[in-house]
Amino acid sequence: MLENIALIREVHTLMPTSKAQELANQYLQKINLDSIGTKRLNQCSSLEIFYVMCIRALMMDAKTVIIETPYAIVDNLRDIASVLENISILNFTNKKILILDTQNNQIHYKGCKCNTAK
Amino acid sequence: MIKFIENVGDKTITSLSSLYEAIEFTLICLGHMIQPKSYNPAMRMVLTKQIYFTAVTIIPLFIMMAFLFGSVIIGVVISLATEYSLQDQIGSIIVTFVIDEFSPFFTALLISLRSGTAVNTEIAVMNVNKELNMLKEYNINLIDYLFLPRIISGIISVTSLSILFAIIMLSSGYLFTLFYMNMDLHTYKYLLLDAIEVKDLIVLLVKSIAFGFATMLIPIYSGFKMANSYTTIPISVLNGMVKLFIAIFFIEVLSLVIQSL
């Protein structure tokens, strides 16, 4: 997973591999997922893969990150609040994060700190 | 009759457009190869791994095969040369056969069978799993990150292994000259040094580079251009391998034609 995350910085900012992997590891440590650094894709849960995708997206130059239907990406996701909290920990560069979801899942977002709009 | 003409026309247009696309893809890859910005740290990491998997892990098997095939074939060549009283020409026969023809051709076949199929399947599976689309979403250039390291590793691997194959084959040739012609090492060494020309080394290098390029480019293109379904993966590998073997034979024939001019 470290290689997958480090790839973004290696390609876009030509960061050396060792530095990019160190940075990727720091991102994973922030949400206590550094144990997946050496794992391959098939060894990770859908939630872990989701976080890796988020980290990669947050490493991009784009100012806005759009997450489309997290409930479809993560299997058996029950507590979106903890996911949102982890995303906010990762988002220390203050990118704008938009989550697009169906109205069926609106109930899951009740009580979350994020703004919701129909 | 009109239907027949329509079919012929349709197939001709399809073939020509496929050929145009393949040539375009080749030129794009060559263009990326000469751009320094293509060589980013991620690409260099993939390149290192590819060279390791294509050229390094095969070395024990390759040395064994080079010795076995090399000994048998060079034995046949030497015995035929002795039978037809061509002992004076034995040096140039060995050099031409081993360096110009057999080493690059055999190495290309071996790398095609081992790594060409693997690369074709890998790209095809990535294509079906939408991993290629995912990389595009992250603004990662597929040619720089996926294709170029494989093509360059193919060139480096085929060239280096061809040289290794030629060295092993020439070494095993000594055993046969010793056995058939009672030739000592010193005489054999000077026989080869007298026969070898710069032209032979250029032919070996140019052919190896061409073989290495084709060995990776054709499977990559075949995997990349396939339809998005799991059932088409074996068809993609099959088509890719057939095209690759045709390309290898074409390069071989072309080199013979050029050398005979």
* pLDDT given for residue B74 in this prediction: 80
**Is the Cβ pair A17, B138 closer than 8 Å?**
no
Q: Which residues span the domain enclosing B125?
A: 39-260
Whole-angstrom Cα Rg for chain A:
15
- B92 Rama sector, left if φ>0, alpha if ψ -120 to 50, beta otherwise: alpha
Name every residue whose Cβ is closer than 8 Å to that of residue A9 and which is 6 or more positions away in sequence. A15, A19, A20, A23, A24, A59
Is the pLDDT at A111 greater than 80, yes or no? no
Q: Are residues B211 and B94 in the same domain?
A: yes
- B46 & B110 share domain: yes
The shortest CB-CB distance from A15 to any of B41, B138, B144 is to: B41
Q: Is A8 on the interface with B (CB under 8 A)?
A: yes
3-state secondary structure of A37: coil
Closest chain B C-alpha to A19 CA, distance in angstroms: 11
Q: Are residues B13 and B105 in the same domain?
A: no
Same structural domain, B98 and B133 = yes
Cβ count within 10 A of residue A94 = 8
CA B29 from centre of chain: 17
DSSP state of A60: S
User: pTM here?
Assistant: 0.85
- Whose tokens are 């061809």? That residue is B162
pLDDT at B261: 79
Give, in order, the Cα–Cα distances in Å from A28 to each of A31, B20, B173, B238.
6, 46, 58, 41
Q: Are residues B15 and B43 in the same domain?
A: no
Cβ(B45)–Cβ(A17) below 8 Å? yes
Distance from the Cα of B160 to chain A's closest Cα (Å) equals: 27
Rounded mean pLDDT, B2-18: 90
Answer with the residue of higher pLDDT: A82 or B10. Answer: B10
* Main-chain phi, psi angles of A79, to 5 degrees: -110, 95
Number of domains into which chain B is organized: 2
CA distance B135 to chain A (A): 10
DSSP secondary structure string for all residues of chain B? -HHHHHHHHHHHHHHHHHHHHHHHHHHHHHHHHT-GGG--HHHHHHHHHHHIIIIITTHHHHHHHHHHHHHHHHHHHHHHHHHTT-GGGHHHHHHIIIIIIIHHHHHHHHHIIIIIHHHHHHHHHHHHTTHHHHHHHTT--HIIIIIHHHHHHHHHHHHHHHHHHHHHHHHHHHHHHHHHH---HHHHHHHHHHH--HHHHHHHHHHHHHHHHHHHHHHHHHHHTS-SSTTHHHHHHHHHHHHHHHHHHHHHHHHHHHHH-
Per-residue pLDDT of A6-46, as tens digits, reads: 988 888 888 898 899 998 998 888 888 888 888 888 888 88
Pick the CATH number of A2-109 from 3.30.1490.190, 1.10.110.30, 3.40.50.12160, 3.40.50.300: 3.40.50.300
Cα dihedral B79→B85→B88→B94 (10° resolution): -30
State yes or no: pLDDT of A114 exceeds 80.
no
Is residue B9 domain-shared with residue B131, that is, in the same domain?
no
Contacts of A3 in chain B (CB under 8 A): 45
Q: Which residues of B touch A15 (CB under 8 A)?
A: 41
Q: Are residues B95 and B184 in the same domain?
A: yes
Which of A11, A12, A13 to probe by mutation at the B interface, max B CB count within 10 Å?
A: A11
Q: Is A66 on the interface with B (CB under 8 A)?
A: no
Whether B25 and B113 share a structural domain: no
* pLDDT tops 80 at residue B87: no
Domain match, B133 and B189 both? yes
Which residues in chain A have their CB less than 8 angstroms from residue B44's CB?
17
Mean pLDDT comparison of A48-62, A64-78, B173-187, highest-scoring range: A48-62
Pairwise CB contact (< 8 Å): B41 & A60: no
Cβ contact B107:B208 at 8 Å: yes
Residue of B nearest to A7 (CA): B42
B140/A7 touch (CB, cutoff 8 Å), yes or no: yes
Same domain, B251 and B130: yes
Q: Which A residues in the span 24-63 are in contact with B, Cβ-Cβ below 8 Å?
A: 56-57, 60
For chain B, state the CA radius of gyration: 22
Q: Please indicate whether, in this complex, the C-beta atoms of B41 and A20 are within 8 angstroms of each other.
A: yes
Smallest Cα–Cα separation from A17: which of A3, A30, A29? Answer: A3
Q: What is the mean predicted confidence (pLDDT) over B228-249?
A: 90
Q: Give the closest-approach CA distance of B42 to chain A in angstroms.
A: 5
Contact B145 A11 (CB under 8 A): yes
Q: Tell me: the pLDDT tens digits for B39-51?
A: 988 899 999 999 9
